[in-house]
A and B are shown apart, each in its own frame.
Chain A
Amino acid sequence: MGKVYRFFLKMHVGAPSKPIVDVGDKVKRGMLIAEPEGLGAKIHTSVTGKVVKVTDSFIDIEADEVQTKDYVKIKECSSIQEAVFEAGIVGAGGAGFPTHIKLQSKLDDGYIIANCVECEPILNHNIYLIEKEAAKVIRGIKYAMEATNAKKAYIAIKAKNLNAINALKKEIKDDSIEIKEMPDMYPMGEERAVIHQIFGKWLEPTQLPIEANCVVLNTETLYNIACAVEDRKPVIDKDITVAGKLKKGKGPHVLLKVPIGTPIKDLIDMYGGIDGEYGEIIIGGPYTGKAEDLDESYVTKTSGGAIVTIPLPEFKGKLGLLVCACGADEQRLRDIAAKMKSQVVAVTKCKNVVEVRGANKCLTPGDCPGQVQAVMYLKKQGAERILIANCNDCTNTVMGCAPKLNIPVYHHVDHALRTMDMPIPRRLPIDKK
């Protein structure tokens, strides 16, 4: 039996797409296999082969021995939005919002914001893509501008990524596109944080960027737009960063154009497999990624990373959880606490967390509202130590009070960053604030 690729029917915001293939169907790389019903996106197979399983949530395709780079092209389209829709483009940064919807906005005096911040530590594939394909990313911005009638675009990118910035500068031919350099902080890449950084104004968590007269698109999404328009290529490949306890070195290793549906295990095996004992496999970045079962994980349109971490530190005591919208949610923190063998005695949220359509949102990402009450509450509930999920600024505030209350502090990204020998978030340096 050949290798099986799995295509989830919900790799985007909206309803799951509806399969249009049946078991036994032969498919060719690039062929449409599922259509959206309502809000959603088209799904194409990344491999040539045979459909072996169709369920409500996924389609499994057994790949032929021989695979090609070629693909079945999407139809000739009359507009950019149509091409984007046909290509099944969704936000590749993680959220998966269908891009054709965003591009229906009319931004007569507005802006396209290219979100090239890639603020999750360890992940590196967006910056790498820019270094390699700056021209195509810029063309993607141009298409987005054309589609929305925006006169101006900003590229938000961390100032530390000099090579990427230089690569972009080389390709920017006029002043309709401008680079905005961002500080190296988490969560600088959050949509509203980017808008705040550029325009100095906070959107309400319920507001969409359109209310600031702009559309925010991730690096890879922009690249995919260019692919759809120029090459009539559907979204069938994904860039991803693989890192951590791997036999061939911890990386981060960047893989460009991994066929969607590829088992994550294959990527791990490319680097020699897992090196010894491990803690979790985080799919996504350390902050917002989730630990997943290796055998159940496949590359999707929004996969960002696969990080194999060292085991979590054991703490067989009472643990308090501090949930934040910018990092892990309660479920994720409970998951980590269980792996630490800790007893969760209390959970609280950062007071900036608001729930919007079932997801936690922060009122002012990267701008702390104060944490002392939350820490005191957890202590009062009997927590001997706390596990936090805050952004850099909030973590700094927690560090200002918890140790004084004699409460040791874990951060939910510690084990991932310690795996990589990267600095963990705690207090911010005073001079940078």
Chain B
Amino acid sequence: MSMSAEKAQKYLNEPAIVCCRTEEGTIISADNLEDPEIFPDLVASGLLNIPSNCLKVGEVLGAKLVKTIDALTPLTPDLLEGVKVEDTKKVEIPKDAKAVLKVNKKAGDVITLEDLENPINFEKLQDSLLINLTEDVLTVGEVIGKKLIVDAPALTTVKPNMLEGYIKEMEVNNMPQVTSQGTLRIKIAEGKGIDIELPLFAPQPLQVPQVKQEAVSVKPVEKAKEEKEEYQEKEIRRLVRKHYKITEVKFGPETKIEGTTLYIRENICQDALKVDNLVKDIKIDIITPDKYNTYSETIMDVQPIATKEKGSKLGSGVTRVLDGVIVMVTGTDENGVQIGEFGSSEGILEENIMWGRPGCPDKGEIFIKTQVTIAAGTNMERVGPLAAHKATDYITQEIRDALKKVDDSLVVYTEEFVQKRRPGRKKVVIVKEIMGQGAMHDNIILPVEPVGVLGGKPNVDLGNVPVVLSPLEVLDGGIHALTCIGPASKECSRHYWREPLIIEAMNDPEIDLCGVVFVGSPQINSEKFYVSERLGMLIEAMDVDGAIVTTEGFGNNHIDFASHIEQIGMRGVPVVGMSFCAVQGALVVGNEYMKYMIDLNKSEQGIENEILGCNTLCKEDAIRALAMLKTVMAGEEVKAPERQWNPNVKENNLELIEKTYNIKIERVENETSIPMSQKRREKYSTK
């Protein structure tokens, strides 16, 4: 099918191939050309072979065909006359280059980019004494759009005194002078919107100049303002985390913390069992590193053990957290069916956990692992997994209560998170899509305690509509993840507690992170679009300059993910998407706004390998996403991806970022760093 003229403009550098039989003498236009989007398929199916001398779309438009050719013939130089040999190179003049007029201009003319000389010849022009690039010559960025107040021939360097709206700083500074006669003398060389207000009786004339200086410098030096003030950081709120070290976890008569030992009440499970009648059995295993090689049912969640200090609300104030220990929820139903969908991570623990991922345990930590058995068949209902979590939270809450009582002397270190806004910087929002299909896919938003249950609202009950959290609310355990999607891409509760994208974005001085929007992924398509349209309206109202949309999981939820991106993109907001895709999670849907994608895959084969957290968002991904968003917001193009998944793209991008920012980015490990389970050997091994 042929292309529209607009589309042809977009594909000027793609191969030019006629879509239909084209007659000799035809002047080639977009109508005659095949849409390059389908070339890869044509090539793959053997219908098309693009020769090396095939011309580009931009080269053939307007050229004349010298012989009649069949459909799908690549246009080569021998078939055409009037080919543009070189692409009309659009010369980019850097904004910080010195401004030299290329053409003769008159007073009153406004300077445009086309009026300015290409810097490639500056050295020679200066050498020829035709220009003199002194300090006071303004830059391209400073002069564009400004009006000249003098006639200036070509090859004139543009200086402040030639432009309207620039007042020589010297004059401003020296302007108001109180003479010895006691009169005030104000001399204004050039100026606009000057508003001078003088007290009629100035008891001390010397005060006058001070007042005036500000009033006078109204418009003149916009640029100086930009450079000096740049942007102001505004602190919004703070969150303090007090860390308490735990080196040993034991059962004892009561739940308490003594020094670095955590005691858990021996009979606690009896009470936990009563929390929900769907819970048929619960037991606790204390997994110390020497027991990492024991069997476990599928891991439903990994949670920090943290509590708010009295008077502190989640997302601000003080949070206490235990280091060296985490809570792990595992379980099956009465029939022994794993509580998980599309993969589960039951098996030897150390073979199924990607250590150190934001949502996973770190190697060396002790797990307080609950194994919950829920009523038969409820594993696929909302109530089932929720019951398992509630029962576990009963135990965690008892530890939290103990933690509240601990003396401050046990604090090993204190961490402080400061949420700042940066007006003047590009305003960015992070949108996190979370699962909300019901069944086992739900989250509890904003419980009272970090990753607690009480007080929180399930996003499914909220209709999955967008809910805005502050970055600190997210990092303070504002999301309790009940999600049971494939382990490798699942964001456990701990993931939000350590969410790398939020941390990176919040601390990035180049952007203004305004908030984090959580949006659920409903089961039914009509609901999905209801939700994503609300997201679009929310984004519209926020007036952001850029957005990053992340999702866990893959497949069904990619429908909403794509729709979210579309809703944001169609409002003219640059948007970067982050998801596990690679091979197995390749996007099932797409739209024209899904141009800027970050693949979260870390697995060797590009698959959901059922290793907890393997393909979740890590710091390296956050850095890539932010770099990409900034690039897009700056108006630069991002190269289209290759057709086949190619992990090198990611590596190249990381190297590019390292080079540009002069930083070292740690690459996380993948499943090859842990022992291979029998299941993996059977299911996935290709070697």
Contacts and interface: CB of A to CB of B under 8 A. Distances in A.
Interface stretch (A75-83, A196-204, A308-316, A352-360): A308-316
A408 interface: yes
Given A253-B85, A421-B118, A403 B127 contact: yes
The SS class assigned to the A binding surface is loop
A79 to B, nearest CB: 31
Given A251-B88, A311-B154, A423 B124 contact: yes
Contact-residue bracket for chain B: 20 to 34
B13 interface: no
Given A409-B130, A418-B121, A251 B86 contact: yes
Given A249-B88, A313-B155, A424 B124 contact: yes
Given A403-B129, A426-B127, A256 B82 contact: yes
Contact of A256 (B81, B91, B102): B81
B84 interface: yes
Interface stretch (A38-46, A124-132, A218-226): A124-132
B664 interface: no
B78 interface: yes
Contacts of B240: none
Nearest to A406: B129
A421 B129 contact: no
A410 interface: yes
B84 A314 contact: no
A313 B85 contact: no
B504 to A, nearest CB: 39
Interface string A352-384: 000000000000000000000000000000000
A160 interface: no
A248 B59 CA distance: 12
B118 A255 contact: no
Given A399-B127, A418-B102, A421-B89, A132 B84 contact: no
Given A132-B78, A313-B154, A409 B128 contact: yes
A251 B124 contact: no
B121 A249 contact: no
The SS class assigned to the B binding surface is loop
Contacts of A253: 82, 84-85
A257 to B, nearest CB: 6
A312 B85 CA distance: 27
Centre residue among A249, A251, A407, A421 by max chain B CB count within 10 A: A421
B58 to A, nearest CB: 9
B640 interface: no
A315 B153 CA distance: 7
Interface in B61-95: 62, 77-78, 81-86, 88-89, 91
Interface string A400-429: 001100111110000001100111101100
Contacts of B155: 313
Nearest to A422: B120
A270 interface: yes
A418 B117 contact: yes
24 contacts: A249-B84, A254-B84, A254-B85, A256-B81, A270-B62, A270-B82, A310-B102, A311-B103, A311-B154, A312-B154, A313-B130, A313-B153, A313-B154, A314-B154, A403-B129, A410-B128, A418-B117, A418-B121, A423-B124, A424-B124, A424-B125, A426-B127, A426-B128, A427-B124
Interface of A: 124, 128, 131-132, 248-257, 270-271, 277, 310-315, 399, 402-403, 406-410, 417-418, 421-424, 426-427
Given A311-B103, A408-B129, A418-B117, 19 more contacts: A131-B77, A132-B78, A249-B88, A252-B85, A254-B83, A254-B84, A255-B81, A270-B82, A313-B104, A313-B130, A313-B153, A313-B155, A408-B130, A409-B128, A409-B129, A409-B130, A421-B118, A423-B124, A427-B127
